[in-house]
């Protein structure tokens, strides 16, 4: 007898879609195909697509920035994730300068334990001393870590020699570097020029981190990785020139994973022209020109882009405005250098790809599964436990109704935020039920999961290689 039997759904994998039943026992998928036998509960999924639960490779929760906290904790974030069809969460250890990588990983694990969904931890490396702990992090089930090429003022930037050393050691111990690729010299120069020029309106923000700022860093780390034969994962890629660089590196046989985020696919820099809302979309890299948005969709369709992560880093409007000055009327004085960076996105990642991607004919639903679930699981050491609807995998599933239409708004999402970057956007296709480890966690618009029921995912060294693309 199964615990749960999902009947007659259209089961999606990167390779194709087929009608099948799914039998679940003890949190695992036991059978996929024509499944006979009884079950404690049977769900009729006819007319629905059944996807492997989303794997969120990139978010920042319980993240303190200059004393301001992100809006969610790891439990409320897991609730929002479940509503959006995501069942596995990754966050980053907040390794400080002078601090231990392994200790910060342990701290993050403790914080994430309140999640209702399974979770995994990326490390973070800021300086040489922490590189010595990479092999230990791999042994501790955390074979991936973040490197920043900018933000020296926040103490986050790893210099070139640290980056090269980290790549070299990562390659030796099977750890995967996740790189924030923005050129610090270019950004620093252009910010300084903007400060002298005086115009700090939101609409000027993309000009201090232009496409060249990202492309220079992307190109540099691609060569660094080539020099020491290290696979790398580049987070939040947003420009055409970076994609061209990735294509060239791959053609030479380099293993390079490229991530982009939904906000770079759906929004462009014109959002910053709105004086009342532009600052809510300030993030790094900035929103781009329509030409780069088009290039990203091409990169999704042709396989250049490997994953779509939300880079969810959600601050309330109050927090976004906390460091800004106000005029006599109480309105904020625009200054893009004093807006806390980051945008929300955990709940809308899958719906936006279903609507802007599948419903508009830009990418297939199989590709959406590959980008949001299978590939993140593959390159981060979780496949096929996560990212696949196959016997033996964890029973993490999302039932999607491609005919459902919704209008996105702050009030309709499950976050404490008083704004939505996509306010008023009509979307088609919606996750209507989410199953995590065999338990239904979202059903009929209600959360039915349990705080703290997520498990830490002890990952293999990230040696999986994606199919050529
Ligand atoms: Zn990020």
- Contact in structure between 186 and 218 (CB atoms under 8 Å): no
Classify strands 426-436 and 49-52 as parallel, antiparallel or unpaired: unpaired
Q: What is the pLDDT of residue 467?
A: 42
**b/e code 430-450 from CB counts within 10 Å (16+ = b):** bbbbbbbbbbbbbeeeebebe
Q: Is 50 exceeded by the pLDDT of residue 382?
A: yes
- Dihedral through CA 408, CA 411, CA 417, CA 423, nearest 10? 30
Q: What secondary structure, in 3-state letters, does the chain show?
A: CEEEEEEEEEEEECCEEEEEEEEEECCEEEEEECCCCCEEEEEECCCCEEEECEEECCECCCCEECCEECCCCHHHHHHHHHHCCEEEEEEECCCCCCCCHHHHHHHHHHHHCCCCCEEEEEEECCCHHHHCCHHHHHHCCCCEEEEECCCHHHCCECCHHHHHHHHHHHHHHCCEEEEECCCHHHHHHHHHHHHHHCCCCHHHHHHHCCHHHHHHHHHHHHHHHHHCCCCEEECCCCCHHHHHHHHHHHHCCCCEEEEECHHHHHCCHHHHHCCCCHHHHCCCCCCCCHHHHHHHHHHHHHCCCCEECCCECCCCHHHHCCCCCECCCCCECCCHHHCCCCECCCCCHHHHHHHHHHHCCCCCHHHHHHHHHHHHHHHCCCCCCCCCCCCCCECCEEEEEEEEEEECCHHHCCCCCCCCCCCCCEEEEEEEEEEECCEEEEECCEECCCCCCCCECCCCCCCCCCCCC
Among candidate residues 65, 68, 61, the one with its CA nearest the CA of residue 322 = 68
pLDDT: which is higher, 300 or 66: 300
- Contact in structure between 118 and 436 (CB atoms under 8 Å): yes
Distance 55 CA to ligand 1 centre (A): 15
The model's pLDDT over 232-260, given as tens digits with 9 standing for 90+, comes to 999 999 999 999 999 999 999 999 999 99
φ, ψ at 280 (rounded to 5°): -65, -20
What are the beta bridge partners of residue 434? Answer: 398, 442
Distance 25 CA to ligand 1 centre (A): 36
How sure is the predictor about 384, in pLDDT bands with cuts at 50, 70 and 90? very high
* Full strand arrangement of the beta sheet holding 232-234: 54-56, 86-92, 118-124, 144-148, 176-180, 232-234, 256-260, 307-308
Among candidate residues 352, 373, 374, 376, the one with its CA nearest the CA of residue 363 = 352
Q: How open is the CA angle 410-413-416, to the nearest 5 degrees?
A: 70
How sure is the predictor about 268, in pLDDT bands with cuts at 50, 70 and 90? very high
Q: Which domains does the chain have, with CATH numbers?
A: 53-379 (3.20.20.140)
Q: What is the pLDDT of residue 320?
A: 95
Distance 208 CA to ligand 1 centre (A): 19
CA 134/CA 143 separation, integer angstroms: 8
CA 443/CA 237 separation, integer angstroms: 34
CA 287/CA 264 separation, integer angstroms: 6
Tokens of 370: 């590959």
Distance 58 CA to ligand 1 centre (A): 6
Distance 345 CA to ligand 1 centre (A): 11
Distance 40 CA to ligand 1 centre (A): 41
The model's pLDDT over 313-366, given as tens digits with 9 standing for 90+, comes to 999 999 999 999 999 999 999 999 999 999 999 999 999 999 999 999 999 999
Distance 349 CA to ligand 1 centre (A): 14
- Contact in structure between 268 and 287 (CB atoms under 8 Å): yes
Q: Is 80 exceeded by the pLDDT of residue 465?
A: no
Distance 341 CA to ligand 1 centre (A): 10
Percent residues over pLDDT 90 in the chain: 94
Q: What is the pLDDT of residue 413?
A: 96
How sure is the predictor about 67, in pLDDT bands with cuts at 50, 70 and 90? confident
- Counting every residue, how long is the chain? 469
Its sign, for the CA torsion 469, 268, 289, 183, is negative
Q: What is the pLDDT of residue 468?
A: 40
Distance 166 CA to ligand 1 centre (A): 19
The model's pLDDT over 84-138, given as tens digits with 9 standing for 90+, comes to 999 999 999 999 999 999 999 999 999 999 999 999 999 999 999 999 999 999 9
The model's pLDDT over 317-328, given as tens digits with 9 standing for 90+, comes to 999 999 999 999
Distance 297 CA to ligand 1 centre (A): 20
Provide CB contacts within 8 A for 205, sequence distance 6+: 272, 282, 286, 336
Distance 259 CA to ligand 1 centre (A): 11
How many CA atoms are closer than 13 Å to the CA of 83, on its beta-carbon side? 17
Distance 22 CA to ligand 1 centre (A): 35
Percent residues over pLDDT 70 in the chain: 98
Q: What is the pLDDT of residue 463?
A: 56
Q: Is 80 exceeded by the pLDDT of residue 469?
A: no
Distance 60 CA to ligand 1 centre (A): 6
Q: What is the pLDDT of residue 375?
A: 97
Distance 146 CA to ligand 1 centre (A): 9
The model's pLDDT over 45-60, given as tens digits with 9 standing for 90+, comes to 999 999 999 999 999 9
Distance 390 CA to ligand 1 centre (A): 31
The model's pLDDT over 401-445, given as tens digits with 9 standing for 90+, comes to 999 999 999 999 998 999 999 999 999 999 999 999 999 999 999
| 245-252, long-range: CB < 8 A, 24+ apart | 245/215, 245/218, 245/219, 246/218, 246/222, 246/304, 247/304, 249/222, 249/225, 250/304, 250/468, 250/469, 252/226
Distance 95 CA to ligand 1 centre (A): 14
- Mean pLDDT for all residues in the chain: 96
Distance 178 CA to ligand 1 centre (A): 10
- Contact in structure between 49 and 81 (CB atoms under 8 Å): no
Q: What is the pLDDT of residue 462?
A: 60
Distance 80 CA to ligand 1 centre (A): 18
Q: Ion ligand 1 — residues with CB under 5 Å?
A: 311
Distance 149 CA to ligand 1 centre (A): 13
Q: Is 90 exceeded by the pLDDT of residue 302?
A: yes
Segment 391-398 mean pLDDT: 98
């Amino acid at each position: 007898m199964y615990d749960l039997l999902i009947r007659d759904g259209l089961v999606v994998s990167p390779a194709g879609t087929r009608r099948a039943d799914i039998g679940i026992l003890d949190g695992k998928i036991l059978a996929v195909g024509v499944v006979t036998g009884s079950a404690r509960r049977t769900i009729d999924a006819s007319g629905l697509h059944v996807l492997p639960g989303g794997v969120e490779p990139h978010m920042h929760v319980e993240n303190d920035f200059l004393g301001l906290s992100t809006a969610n904790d790891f439990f409320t974030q897991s609730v929002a994730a479940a509503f959006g069809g995501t069942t596995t969460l990754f966050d980053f250890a907040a390794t400080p300068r002078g601090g231990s990588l392994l200790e910060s990983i342990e701290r993050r694990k403790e914080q994430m334990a309140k999640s209702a969904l399974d979770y995994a931890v990326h490390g973070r490396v800021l300086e040489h001393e922490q590189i010595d702990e990479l092999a230990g992090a791999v042994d501790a089930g955390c074979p991936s870590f973040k490197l920043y090429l900018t933000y020296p003022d926040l103490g986050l930037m790893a210099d070139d020699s640290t980056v090269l050393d980290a790549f070299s050691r990562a390659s030796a111990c099977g750890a995967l570097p996740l790189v924030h690729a923005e050129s610090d010299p270019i950004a620093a120069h252009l910010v300084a020029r903007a400060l002298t020029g005086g115009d700090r309106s939101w609409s000027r923000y993309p000009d201090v981190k232009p496409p060249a700022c990202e492309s220079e860093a992307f190109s540099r780390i691609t060569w660094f990785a080539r020099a020491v034969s290290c696979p790398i994962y580049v987070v939040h890629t947003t420009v055409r020139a970076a994609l061209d660089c990735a294509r060239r590196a791959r053609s030479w046989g380099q293993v390079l994973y490229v991530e982009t985020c939904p906000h770079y696919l759906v929004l462009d820099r014109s959002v910053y022209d709105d004086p009342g809302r532009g600052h809510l979309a300030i993030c790094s890299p900035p929103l781009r020109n329509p030409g780069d948005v088009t290039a990203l969709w091409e990169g999704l369709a042709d396989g250049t882009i490997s994953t779509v992560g939300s880079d969810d880093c959600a601050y309330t409007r109050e927090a976004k405005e906390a460091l800004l000055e106000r005029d006599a009327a109480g309105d904020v004085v625009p200054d893009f250098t004093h807006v806390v960076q980051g945008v929300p996105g955990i709940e809308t990642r899958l719906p936006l790809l279903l609507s802007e991607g599948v419903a508009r004919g830009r990418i297939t639903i199989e590709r959406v599964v590959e980008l949001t679930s299978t590939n993140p699981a593959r390159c981060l050491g979780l496949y096929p436990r996560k990212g696949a609807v196959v016997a033996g995998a964890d029973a993490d599933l999302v039932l999607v109704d491609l005919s459902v239409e919704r209008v996105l708004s702050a009030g309709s999402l499950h976050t404490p935020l008083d704004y939505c970057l996509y306010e008023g956007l009509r979307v088609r296709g919606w996750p209507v039920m989410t199953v995590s480890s065999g338990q239904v966690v979202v059903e009929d618009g209600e959360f039915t999961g349990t705080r703290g029921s997520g498990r830490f995912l002890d990952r293999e060294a990230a040696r999986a290689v994606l199919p050529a693309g």
